[in-house]
Amino acid sequence: KTGEVMNVSQVSYFTLSAYFDIGPFKYGIFLVIMCVYMFIIGSNVLLIAVICVNRSLHEPMFLFLCSLFVNELLGSSSLFPFLLVQILSDVHSVCAPLCFLQIFCLYMYVNVEFYNLAVMSYDRYLAICHPLHYSTQMSFSMVVKLVVLSWCLPFVAIVVMILLNVSSALCGNVIDRVFCNNYYVASLSCSGAMASNVYGLAYTFSVLLSLAALILYTYVKILQVCFSGSKQTRQKAISTCTPHLASLINFSFGSFFAVLQSRFDMSRVPNVIRIILSLYFVTCQPLLNPLLYGLKLNKIQITCRTLFFGQ
């Protein structure tokens, strides 16, 4: 169908051209990816259960963490089962509705992750820089509002983006990726996807850069308190902010790799490296977050030890 003008409604499937024949090694890769996926599901579900069961963890920071772990389940489940099927398949294609569903889920994951990290930065800023007003400003109703906004605003934004792509005419159905990617679907548009590109740029500059500015501002203020405060204040700030900062840096690197591949010619880079970099943002973040928060936050460690080993 390449070269033929089609409406999205006429496209029954998309071909994923980034896959290549790896022979019998596909079974080993299948097992590795399956183990990674099982670890992600098990660790994130465990931490969600720990936070829900223990009433002492029903604090803003841990409720935001719970939202973050739920989002990790969304992102990993949007990709890993699909990858497992494609690895064992000889025909690497996906029906159009499933492709757009995967785009929706993956972009939801990326946006909700960014919103959650921004909200958690604001929460740490209030706790460290304004501790006397923290309980009043970060009440339970405020936590609920922030969590709902972290999910609802990306939902509306991604639905609009999908609708813009669905309404455009396509001049092909080949995606140079191992999963469905909105940028590559939009690039198949015969009109150049101007509406989608303008909307994407407007959303990025108006919303995502605002969240990035909020994160930067909060950490500048936190660092000021660390350098000017007592040793105890400094230790508390470091212990609570280190996992969040590590998660933020890891997610930023993953997003950077994804943008780099979408916007620049990567044909000189080996295919295996390109595939690994394209999967980084939705593999390492759900994999590392449970380890970062589970190993660094004392309350979660104590609750896990109590659940498994008793008092």
For residue 45, the domain's CATH number is 1.20.1070.10
185 domain residue, yes or no: yes
- Is residue 23 left, alpha or beta, with left meaning phi > 0 and alpha meaning psi from -120 to 50? left
Contacts of residues 179-183 at CB distance under 8 Å and 24 or more positions apart, as own/partner, are 179/16, 179/79, 179/82, 179/83, 179/102, 179/106, 179/278, 180/14, 180/16, 180/94, 180/98, 180/99, 180/100, 180/102, 180/103, 180/106, 181/103, 181/262, 182/103, 182/107, 183/262
Residues of the domain holding 83: 9-309
- The predicted-structure confidence for 119-167, as pLDDT tens digits, reads as follows 999 998 998 888 888 888 999 999 999 999 999 999 999 999 888 887 7
Closest to 259 (Cα-Cα) out of 54, 110, 155: 110
Amino acid at position 275, single letter: I
> Cα(78)–Cα(158) distance, rounded to whole angstroms?
15
- pLDDT greater than 90 at residue 116: yes
> Residue 151 contacts by C-beta under 8 Å, 6 or more apart in sequence?
67, 112, 115
150 domain residue, yes or no: yes
Range 209-233 average pLDDT: 83
pLDDT band at 232 (very low <50, low <70, confident <90, very high): confident
Range 87-98 average pLDDT: 88
- Please, are residues 258 and 281 in contact by the beta-carbon 8 Å criterion? yes
1 domain residue, yes or no: no
2 domain residue, yes or no: no
> Cα(58)–Cα(51) distance, rounded to whole angstroms?
7
Range 231-259 average pLDDT: 81
219 domain residue, yes or no: yes
238 domain residue, yes or no: yes
**How many domains does one find in the chain?**
1
Between 264 and 146, name the one with better pLDDT.
Answer: 146
93 domain residue, yes or no: yes
What's the pTM? 0.88
Closest to 225 (Cα-Cα) out of 300, 126, 303: 126
- Please, are residues 87 and 93 in contact by the beta-carbon 8 Å criterion? no
30 domain residue, yes or no: yes
- pLDDT greater than 70 at residue 307: no
Between 60 and 238, name the one with better pLDDT.
Answer: 60
Neighbours of 28 (CB within 10 A): 10
